[in-house]
A and B are shown apart, each in its own frame.
Chain A
């Protein structure tokens, strides 16, 4: 065991995306110092370029058929990891596009913003390949800590500070509890590599301690994914933090949390599904229902989207529960298809949410307010942004022909496929919830289309970068809606690599 640590054979190609990212981070820092005050916006250019380079490396690795493994399997760069890295990088690229104008116009430290952003992304790419408790923990913290700072980035605004402190405290507590769980897992199995844990755990008898240990280690991720009992931070942080950060939090870091959960469950605790599927099942149900119900009465659009992301988190947990049910009946192929639907939902959710936030940023630049009523009458004078916003909201509500329907469809498919009373009830609860969700999404649409515009309203101008982000998101949402195999195949290929 010690020998392995002596001089580990490092496969630099496998690490190339991370290396590229680190290089960009350093470059951004240095540029921020060198460049004069006026041209600090160049750092955003460097950041986006760096992300694209890293994306290029991911593509190169993609058509490398061999699976790259490092550190004895603790850091696997397989099709699954590459797919997720690709997603994180694209999401970050779009976030950068969104925040270029936001940060540029506001009095923010531009360089630091992108530095922190890229650090968090680095954490995510590492998370995708992490197959070891330690690397999982390190990746999770690398994602979270920069976002604590980002959440409080508007230094003089009370609400931003408040967002940061709440996010920080709950985050810290959750990671502490998660660590406590991990330590117990380590104690029980003596292993930190997930594959080894899997063997040991399935060998262990069903003991109370093991159940508590598994649950505690899962809890950390439930916080990140903002599942219900742990979601308290989400609404306040989303509302307080600057909007691009909120977008980043709701899409990328939530995805990071889900990927972590996927890794630890799929590679670690798959064998003992019988113990934890009921918990996930309850979490999913609670998240969906509470998230949707609270969102009904929201007046602030960002806060509404916060609760909507809690609810969408709940929808994403449904395939987890289905996976759990299937594993407990030892139907591995059904389990794998449930796994697939998580990935599909993740990809689609990312595109939808980023698009929605992009629109909100575009509109907020002129109305300067997050209230839903500020959207009223948008259709009369700026139809394009209205149509785009309606597309994203319709997609979030799961209405064809936009991508949302396919995400909801795969979620329903996983639930029904798992079958049994559990699968069907969760499916019906999801069905009812999607109707409730449709109500508040359409409430915004109603404001935009049906209500008369305020008399002093002028049309919304969309700056270049934001326009690019919108094009990417709309393109993805409509394309996947009409031809879902784009994401469907990615998920299929991703889950084929391992048994």
Chain B
């Protein structure tokens, strides 16, 4: 239990945007500059809080829940306001606060069409509350609440400021996620009634539920409960059969909307798997794992094929995130701590890279007023900086070693080579090969896009128009992302160090590997000549 300021820090990180929201609502619609300033200030303060959490986070035992606060919230249903951060949720929390600040900076003079600054920034702040909250919630109901709070602001953002087909896209996004979360809620309730915690009480508390273990639910029922949660999270990820809302939502959403959607909202699903589905119902997870793997792999290939068929640049990037999230789910499906570490890394990396890609797509649309690749071309000649950044992000996205994308995909593929005990090796190894083929397809559609948009000479439509290259706002919004992509790519240790402890503890408890009988404790030195490093003496 944290006390003093530490107890408040997480609540502050989540609810400062509400304060900002109230301030923004009070300011009349006309003073746009003031509104922008207040919003930027609030998001910066929230980022400051999250960085405080990062600084004071005790990295030695990342498994332990830190900054933990547990207050009664609705004692009728024994659900309490239990929040805390550990190795898995810390990176996501900081990423969420970080991306929101960048979005506010980027949209300084990039406001989409109906140009209602006040409402737009208010929605971003409300969105941030939902996002931050989901990552710190340690109670099923609290998680559900924040999971759904995110829905409305995104619905309005797509609906009011979206592209031509925005109404269909926004309602589709809304209903998909609502259906998923309805089923998820039913599963939460089923767990609530089936599992008793230490004191023999029904509880929604995630750590207690994990500790309670199976709690006497028969395997069949476990499968159904996991099924409900699976659908709820799979829709959000999105995984193969439930993904059709994503391309529509992304193509119609305003730039900032699709950045937030891609960077954070998609991660709620995978985070849900890691935080709730896997640890609470390990047996069900083990019997579901091959199917999750199958859908993930289909998602990779299906997403890649989807990209190859696109003419709209942004829709192509949207399909690419279906494919990338396939890798993240593949990592999770392996049920090994290696895979899940890769999944968490993949979530952060995908957030940064695809967020950047959407930023660029937004700027391209802002300058060329179209995203049709057939009409674009020769970006490198007209706006060289933007062209090179697009190239850089394409390379990061196809998983070039040395950039963040690689550490999301490679360990995931590696972990599937040797999944947790009890999972069939041949099946998962075929997944591995397919996923590897997926990397080629990824290179295919990304470079194909790069060639169509960046290389070649500008179409005569734009031949003479003066095109202004990357502006100051854009630089301020993009530079941190680019730096992070490189830093995480070169030094993945930063991420793996934080997530390793928490993931290991979760996996060892949920999927204990059968230790060979009677193994000598001391690892016998393999019969090889001592490899000694020179210059001891000299």
Residues of A within 8 A of B (CB): 340, 379, 383, 394, 397, 399-401, 405-406, 409-410, 412-413, 416-417, 419, 424, 427-428, 431-432, 434-435, 438-439, 442, 446, 449-450, 483-485, 488-489, 491-492
Contact = CB atoms under 8 A, between A and B. Distances in A.
A400 B142 CA distance: 10
Interface string B192-215: 110000000000000000000000
Nearest to B202: A417
A442 B160 CA distance: 13
A399 B152 contact: yes
Pick from A340, A416, A439 the residue with the most CB of B within 10 Å.
A416
B148 A399 contact: yes
Given A416-B186, A450-B160, A435 B167 contact: no
Which of A394, A435, A439 is the most central at the interface, judged by chain B CB atoms within 10 Å of its CB? Answer: A435
B149 interface: yes
B45 interface: no
B76 A394 contact: no
B76 A340 contact: yes
B119 A409 contact: no
Nearest to B183: A431
Contact of A450 (B159, B174, B182): B159
B106 interface: no
A406 B192 CA distance: 16
Interface in B151-196: 151-152, 155-156, 159-160, 166-167, 170-171, 174-175, 178-179, 182-183, 185-186, 189-190, 192-193
Given A400-B144, A416-B186, A449-B160, 4 more contacts: A427-B186, A450-B167, A485-B74, A485-B75
Nearest to B72: A485
Interface residues of B, number: 33
B77 interface: yes
B73 interface: yes
A472 B427 CA distance: 60
Interface of B: 73-77, 119, 141, 144-145, 148-149, 151-152, 155-156, 159-160, 166-167, 170-171, 174-175, 178-179, 182-183, 185-186, 189-190, 192-193
A450 B73 CA distance: 36
25 contacts: A340-B76, A379-B119, A379-B160, A383-B119, A399-B151, A399-B178, A400-B148, A400-B149, A401-B149, A424-B186, A427-B189, A431-B179, A431-B183, A431-B185, A432-B179, A432-B182, A435-B175, A438-B174, A438-B175, A438-B178, A439-B171, A446-B171, A449-B160, A450-B160, A491-B76
Contacts of B74: 406, 483-485, 488
What are the 7 A-B residue pairs with the smallest beta carbon separation, nearest first? Answer: A488-B76, A431-B182, A416-B189, A400-B145, A400-B148, A435-B179, A450-B159
Contacts of B171: 439, 442, 446
A318 to B, nearest CB: 13
A485 B73 CA distance: 7
B194 to A, nearest CB: 9
B185 A417 contact: no
Given A412-B189, A439-B175, A488 B77 contact: yes
Contact of B186 (A400, A401, A431): A431
Contacts of A410: 77
Contact of B193 (A379, A416, A428): A416
B76 A412 contact: no
Contacts of B192: 413, 416
Contacts of B166: 450
A435 B186 CA distance: 14
Nearest to A383: B119
B185 A409 contact: yes
A428 B74 CA distance: 24
Contacts of B170: 446, 450
**Best-surrounded residue of A340, A434, A442, A492 (most CB of chain B within 10 A):** A442
A434 B182 contact: yes
Nearest to B160: A449
